[in-house]
Structure 1
Amino acid sequence: TRRLVDICRRVYIDGGRDHSKDIRIHLLRHDYLPTLVGDRLLQVEVNTIAAGFAGMGTQVSTFHRMTASAALNDLKPFQLPENKPIADFANAMAEAVGAYNEKFGRHSRTICMVVDAPEDNECDQRFIESVLLANHGINVERRTMTELADHVSVDSQTHIVLIPSLIDPTRMVEIALFYFRTGYGPNQYLNGEVMRPAVVVGATGVGRFTLGPP
């Protein structure tokens, strides 16, 4: 947390950056559990970093509808509401990409998903990738924080953020949005080098990061 606060200080206080002019998108996941007290749902967690399972959650919701319909009779539609968070996540990210291009006069169609290595939630993430490409024509480049530390660069004139393409490392790809699916645990910041890309690409979301899970 201290290092994240240091990033805020370096960028917004020492660097004089106006936080009100940044483009941010916060994808949050609120976790609830049913209780036996008044049939209430109680919130047990709010994920402000790496809010995942939009992809898997959509699949599980469909599975629940299928099994419940097969096992129970006369179910009403409101008893099995549709739940498609993956579409909402993809729509929100596409809006953020559009806002970036409009603000800076760019034409980028690429998102960088910052992931772990190895990545336990890759299946969920791949669902989001497929919806972004199919519904919005947006490509996703997957990188770890260490890979970004080694390869991320900022154009000295336009200040756009670039990374080498996985398909052709000699070609630099402009990133319109960084989607963090990591960075929620102290062990992910043990290597001091990973803080450099956080300064470059994560400054806009660092304030929210400090509110997330320890």
Structure 2
Amino acid sequence: MASASVLSAWPPTLTDAQIHALTVQATTYALSNGLLYLPPAERQPPIPESAIHAPLALFPSPFPRSIFEHAKRIQRTYNVLYSRIAQHEQFLDRVMGTENGVGKVDDFIGQLWTGWKQLRDEGLVQPLHLGLFRSDYLLHAPSGESPSLKQVEFNTISSSFGALSERTAAMHRYLNASTQYYNASSHLKTDSFPENDTVAGLVEGLATAHKAYNNEKAYILFVVQPGERNIFDQRPLEYKLLEKYSIHVIRQTFDELALSATLDPETRVLRISCATDLHTDGSVEISTVYFRAGYAPVEYQTPAHYHTRFLLERSRAIKCPSIALQLAGGKKVQEVLTRSGVLEGFLSDETKWGKAAFRKEEVDELRESFMGMWGLDVGQDMITPDHDALESGEENFGVRKARELAPSLVLKPQREGGGNNVYKESIPAFLDTLPPKDRQAWIAMELIVPPSGASNYLIRAGGDNQRAVKAEVVSELGIFGWALFGDESTDMIEKEVGWLVRTKGKESNEGGVATGFSVLDSVLLVDG
């Protein structure tokens, strides 16, 4: 297979002087074009005064053209799938709730679900949900087989690196245009660098939600983390909203919102007070709440933080995501979808979905992207939680199978943001310490086996690491999409809108860029 031979021989050979020259070109391009992070600091100053380039791959990474197009195509089906999951309250109650679901043993999930349930009982006033999604994949090629596409996870909250991935793709196109990479490989040709317009696509989703809210003077609220280093991935969305759609953005943390956010008791209009003289009453109405924070327990240090999240959810503003859509992105949902008939029930049940049902081959495409998964709490039938085993402390089928297959597995909790998983040889010792009552919060997933032999030059800012370091690598592809849905009187709108590549050293299990494991990369399409 041509693509496999390219991977095993990547990157092309260059002299040290050529690598150094490309590194200077890459880092100065990054610094000139906003491919940046704020530098590490115990506390960021109120006014940023310096920046560093984001971690980068010097070469784009080869990826089979047909599989890349396949990943883009099935994003449309994934958009619909997760939109339907978010609207299926009974399913989410059963899988993520506090009675028999994950929320029973996971306090963070339980708090979110309990608050959502209370708000549902009160009556939610905004039927629309906005999702800015990212589906992440690795190539799977066990025992030298031809690569296939396998999903790592589906992100429904704070799906990041859209802007920086677009800039990374532009950087690689620039390096090729300016240096031709010293004619080191025939694969480095213009039509092998796909366009990446992720920012415009994500912003279109936000602008569509804003328009549906039907108040052109309203603002979009970005809920952000304090001391955010990844601000240069967020600001381009803000700039594009203003430049193309004349939509203003206000950025606030949960702590700031606890003091600034108010709801009209009758209309549930969300207003945010802000320190600006542009508004005579000192506050702005919010059309859409875009969460770039709120996905991790550490962000909810006090009950006041949950109170603020629920106040936003209670409002008339469109949430991106709603709590329902955030819960839909849970790892337990991903595992349940692999069970017989569950995926088909969401996509191909003509009784429920009518003309919107998907053809069998479209559903099969998604199922083929799944790896094997099961819950640590499951019994022999792999479907029903083995509550007797949980109560007695005995090891049930799910745990025993995880022990037996540990070298080929990863254990995942219901967490986002990287650094939360347990891999391979660490699994048995972890299971020794995992209380039986907590098993329900974890899933076991068969590890994806990437093609071997690919390398790249990785560049990180600071000290000796500033030079390009060659390493054997694994590259993860993410496909972005968005969907606006939920109002029975309005047709769902959804699109596939862009992509990213994150590349890490092969010895690293985790893949997060913000958490320091990966570098930003882009796709080089290869045939075969």
TM over 0.5: yes
2:253 aligned partner: 144
Q: Extract unaligned runs of 5+ from structure 1.
A: none
Shift of 1:195: 1.3
1:127 equivalent in alignment to 2:224: no
Q: Secondary structure at the match of 1:134?
A: helix
Distance 2:286 2:127 in 1: 15
8 A Cα contact 1:108 1:175, kept in partner: no
Aligned with residue 17 of structure 1, among 124, 137, 161: 124
1:180 equivalent in alignment to 2:288: no
Q: Deviations over 1:45-76 (max 9, x none)?
A: 22211111111111011112223452255725
8 A Cα contact 2:260 2:272, kept in partner: yes
Distance 1:17 1:127 in 2: 32
Q: Secondary structure at the match of 2:251?
A: strand
Distance 1:108 1:131 in 2: 17
Shift of 1:146: 1.5
8 A Cα contact 1:162 1:175, kept in partner: yes
Distance 1:5 1:157 in 2: 25
Q: How does 1:50-129 map to 2 (within 5 A)?
A: 50-69=158-177, 70-71=180-181, 72-73=185-186, 75=189, 77=191, 79-101=192-214, 106-129=215-238
Q: CA RMSD in A?
A: 2.1
8 A Cα contact 2:219 2:287, kept in partner: yes
1:28 equivalent in alignment to 2:133: yes
Q: Secondary structure at the match of 2:298?
A: helix
1:193 equivalent in alignment to 2:304: yes
Larger-Rg structure: 2
1:48 equivalent in alignment to 2:165: no
Determine what percentage of the aligned residue pairs are the same residue. 29
Distance 1:186 1:94 in 2: 29
Distance 1:151 1:188 in 2: 18
Distance 2:308 2:113 in 1: 15
Shift of 1:120: 2.1
Distance 2:149 2:241 in 1: 31
1:206 equivalent in alignment to 2:320: no
Q: Secondary structure at the match of 1:93?
A: helix
Distance 1:177 1:76 in 2: 39
Distance 1:47 1:93 in 2: 17
8 A Cα contact 1:27 1:48, kept in partner: yes
Q: Secondary structure at the match of 1:22?
A: coil
Shift of 1:189: 1.4
Q: Secondary structure at the match of 2:204?
A: helix
Q: Deviations over 1:153-196 (max 9, x none)?
A: 01234321000123248611001000000111111112110112
Q: Secondary structure at the match of 1:31?
A: strand
Q: Which moved more, 1:90-99 or 1:31-40?
A: 31-40
Distance 1:56 1:6 in 2: 36
Distance 2:194 2:304 in 1: 45
Aligned with residue 164 of structure 1, among 264, 273, 280: 273
Shift of 1:207: 1.1
TM-score, scaled relative to structure 1? 0.87
Distance 1:115 1:175 in 2: 15
TM-score, scaled relative to structure 2? 0.37
Aligned with residue 8 of structure 1, among 116, 140, 144: 116
Counterpart code for 1:163: I
Counterpart code for 2:211: G
Q: Secondary structure at the match of 2:117?
A: helix
Shift of 1:35: 4.8
Distance 1:109 1:64 in 2: 38
Q: Secondary structure at the match of 2:154?
A: strand
Counterpart code for 1:198: R
8 A Cα contact 2:133 2:156, kept in partner: yes
Q: Extract unaligned runs of 5+ from structure 2.
A: 1-108, 331-413, 416-528
8 A Cα contact 2:260 2:274, kept in partner: no
Task: From the superposition, tell whether residues 26 and 207 of structure 1 become closer, same or farther in structure 2 (CA, over 3 Å).
Answer: same
Task: From the superposition, tell whether residues 109 and 64 of structure 1 become closer, same or farther in structure 2 (CA, over 3 Å).
Answer: farther
Distance 1:109 1:87 in 2: 20
